[in-house]
Structure 1
Amino acid sequence: MLKLMPMDPNHFQQYINFAVNEYAAEKVAAGTWTPEAAQKNAQLTYDRLLPNGLETPDNFFYSIFNDSEVVGYIWFATDSENSSMAFIFDFEIYKAYQNRGFGSKTLDLVSRETKNMGYTSLGLHVFGSNSRAIHVYQKSGFNITDIKMQKKL
């Protein structure tokens, strides 16, 4: 059975070490940052968003369990522009567990969790090149609210 459990400090440290590097690589691939600046920019972003790490107020980190196995993680927080909205900052089902419906089920669990916490909506960002994730999000009831576009010169 799939369930969300608050992330423990060890998993959080593993997550942060991975996430900063992954975020830097995604921003380079999207053309937003140069390879030379990406690592520093990613670290600054995480430091700004999580000044107190796992204990940063209004940020919620969960490990996703299928029975006793950790199959992924999710981080959501109160949206900085709309306190009635929760915003998913990061979400991953580990590669070995993908294509089993865990992503959709997790989004259902998070939707219930955030509603129970008093939020009225749930938002997220997805890179335009991530068609698999876009499909899962749309299937789970997310609608496109903004589209940022870029042309390579």
Structure 2
Amino acid sequence: MKEDLVLLLSLIDENFQGGLVDSSIREYCDKILKNATFLSIYKQGHIKAFIAYYDNDKKSLIGYLSMLAVHPEHQNKGYGKELLNMAINNLKNKGFKNFDLEVLIENEIAIKLYQSFGFEFVNQTSNKIHMQLIL
């Protein structure tokens, strides 16, 4: 599983000139596999898409989307929407109030997807947009 994630994120990272994650991709994969809720779509033995999010802040009831990734050859097939719906429904069922995320400014496709789900702009840094969905 970890090697599948490393390969997928390395492929996607090429499109963002190494700016996809703040640490090494291997370290990031270790972190999400250990600490995040992780859902994936495998077809024919290969990972097509995954979502990793945190749902462990029981005090603030804010979930945090760490990564939604779809293999470039399998985009526009509804995998991202399916995984995002599953995460949102899981958070709602656990009584969470908000779902937060940060997305790279240049990732216009992801921004449009998040907006279509009702995520709204909160603020912006030099390279990322903070968005939030009220559940």
Task: Check whether TM > 0.5.
Answer: yes
Higher RCO (CA-CA < 8 Å; seq separation 6+): 1
- State the alpha-carbon separation in 2 of the partners of residues 122 and 74 from structure 1: 13
- State the alpha-carbon separation in 2 of the partners of residues 65 and 44 from structure 1: 20
- State the alpha-carbon separation in 2 of the partners of residues 22 and 67 from structure 1: 20
Amino acid aligned to 1:54: L
Please state if 1:42 is matched with 2:42.
no
Partner of 1:54: 33
- State the alpha-carbon separation in 1 of the partners of residues 76 and 10 from structure 2: 25
Partner of 2:133: none
Please state if 1:146 is matched with 2:123.
yes
Gaps of 5+ in 1: 1-10, 31-37
Task: Give 1:85 deviation, angstroms.
Answer: 1.0
- State the alpha-carbon separation in 2 of the partners of residues 124 and 134 from structure 1: 10
Please state if 1:14 is matched with 2:4.
yes
Change (3 A) 1:129 1:119: same
Q: Of 92, 100, 112, which residue of structure 2 is paired with 1:123?
A: 100
Q: Of 87, 98, 101, which residue of structure 2 is paired with 1:110?
A: 87
Q: Is 2:64–2:99's contact at 8 Å kept on the other side of the alignment?
A: yes
**Identical aligned pairs, as a percentage?**
18
Query: Which structure has the larger Rg?
Result: 1
Cα RMSD (Å): 3.7
Change (3 A) 1:79 1:134: farther
**TM-score if structure 2 supplies the norm length?**
0.68
**TM-score if structure 1 supplies the norm length?**
0.61
The Cα offsets for residues 60-87 of structure 1, whole Å up to 9 and x where unpaired, read as 111125798742011101477x641111
The structure richer in helix per residue is: 1
Query: What is the number of equivalent residue pairs in this alignment?
Result: 125
